[in-house]
Structure 1
């Protein structure tokens, strides 16, 4: 399971997308980007972050450390923004924290090169989890100490919003024409040969085991959190063997425009 730490201080809202994450300090003296259970996207965003983040780490990708953050809503009483105060009030209990990478820079294809093997690994992984949120417009990647880090997987595994249709997702293609790394001639075949054999049911079971029960309880159509976990394992494992055959890359490379940096990297975000 995820390590559990209590939130000590709410620092600042990070106005990135619609979820309104916040930068917090915890009792372990570390800083985290916290995603709230009370946000509009709901708890499934947090489930996706944990499952995909744990799976990414098991496959050797760099992903910020994940923890379960225990939030006492009283911490938000001094927050002047009523939207933020309402979000904190609605999110008492277990939330998700991602270790804050101080000094990290948003991935910029004009300043940072990625070799075809690494690009292929990332594209293949995103195809497996059906990540629709790593485009050149919003790469959701950071460069920290010279290395590439993957962040923000909350929009992945779209099938878990409609479990009855989940089995059909095993055969669906993945459109990588807008992917942030499409311009680097990703070697999908090499990535599949390396990574697919490693994504076993046991590896997937370990990844989903880290999701707190409270985020899986009362899921329609399931009688227990463990039953939901099995559904994640079965759906992901069904995609592994042949997903590389259904990745659609653009002809002639992707658009060359610069991506935008995550909101928490903008000047003043850490104050």
Structure 2
């Protein structure tokens, strides 16, 4: 599977998507496609982009339905004519490399009460989110879309939350992930054991290394830490490897949490 990302140049800012604190936007690029842009100058900055990138790439490798990710370049002049000062500042601080998700035109937000999801797919998504510690796939904010009658996963920027404190990454890697109890698809995830066997046989250190090595150097210049970009990459890699080695911990947590719901 080709996990490399295309790079596009953003040519037109269309409209802000005022959801959450990251202020993503709908924009057009020089390939004539529209993208939901996630900006390095917003909220948690490049760490949210790294989480979005890693979560999306792992989901893609596991054959889960995710929109295409692209690296999206903003040049220095982009957004100078934007009338909204907040957006203008966001664009100013986001010069350089950002992340775009292919815009699924006409998609509707997944509603657990109105939309179905088969047990196998639900189990795959729950396993993925427990693996990447995604806190943001709840009934309140599903981060799932229905597009062309199919379910699509979006927004993994709240994953890998260990990187906001960083010092306890080893402990975080071996923590079961109690917040899985709030996952919107947990009630439907009756095939967790089957998925666990499938995904732990498919994921390995080689593929995790390949994905982590694709994190742009531009996103790894962290002023708050006195470690190099290569050292930061190594910690993300070690976190994922440890998480995979201890996958039975978060599997059991999810299975136990599900028992309280059914």
TM-score where L is the length of structure 1: 0.88
* Matched-pair contact (CA < 8 Å) for 2:126–2:189: no
Unaligned runs of 5+ in 2: none
Q: 1:120 aligns with which of 123, 145, 168?
A: 123
What is the aligned counterpart of 2:257 among 233, 249, 270? 249
Name 2:203's counterpart in structure 1.
199
Paired residue for 2:193? 189
Do the aligned residues in 2 keep the contact of 1:185 with 1:253 (CA within 8 Å)? Answer: no
Residue of structure 1 in register with 2:40 after alignment: 37
Deviations 1:123-157 (A, max 9, x none): 11100000000001101011111211111000101
Give me the whole-angstrom Cα distance separating, in 2, the residues matched to 1:171 and 1:245. Answer: 13
* 155-164 or 181-190, which deviates more: 181-190
Does the CA contact (< 8 Å) of 1:124 and 1:188 recur in 2? yes
Q: Which has the higher contact order (CA 8 A, sep 6+)?
A: 1
More displaced stretch, 75-84 vs 144-153: 75-84
Q: Which runs of 4+ in 1 moved over 4 A?
A: none
Could you tell me whether the CA contact under 8 Å between 1:118 and 1:186 is conserved in 2?
A: no
1:76 & 1:206 partners in 2: Cα distance?
34
Flag structure 1 segments of 5+ consecutive residues without an equivalent: 255-271
Q: CA RMSD in A?
A: 1.6
Aligned to 2:112, what secondary structure does the other structure show? coil
Name 2:134's counterpart in structure 1: 131
Aligned equivalents of 1:185 and 1:19: distance in 2?
Answer: 30
Q: Which residue number in structure 1 is paired with residue 84 of structure 2?
A: 81
Number of aligned residue pairs: give it.
Answer: 253
Q: What is the alpha-carbon distance in structure 2 between the residues aligned to residue 190 and residue 61 of structure 1?
A: 15
Q: Which residue of 2 aligns with 1:11?
A: 14
Greater mean alpha carbon deviation, residues 70-79 or residues 9-18? 70-79
Give the deviation of 1:252 after TM superposition: 4.9
Q: Is the 8 A contact 1:199 1:237 kept in 2?
A: no
- Per-residue CA deviation, residues 227-250 of structure 1 (Å, 9 max, x unaligned), is 222211111111124231232524
Q: Compared with structure 1, are the counterparts of its residues 142 and 91 closer, same or farther at alpha carbon in structure 2 (3 Å cutoff)?
A: same
How far off its partner does 1:43 sit?
Answer: 0.6
How many angstroms apart in 2 are the aligned matches of 1:185 and 1:191?
A: 10
Kindly state the Cα deviation for residue 68 of structure 1 after the two structures are TM-superposed: 1.0
Structure 1 segment 164-183 matched on structure 2, within 5 A: 164-175=167-178, 176-183=180-187
Q: CA shift at 1:162, angstroms?
A: 2.4
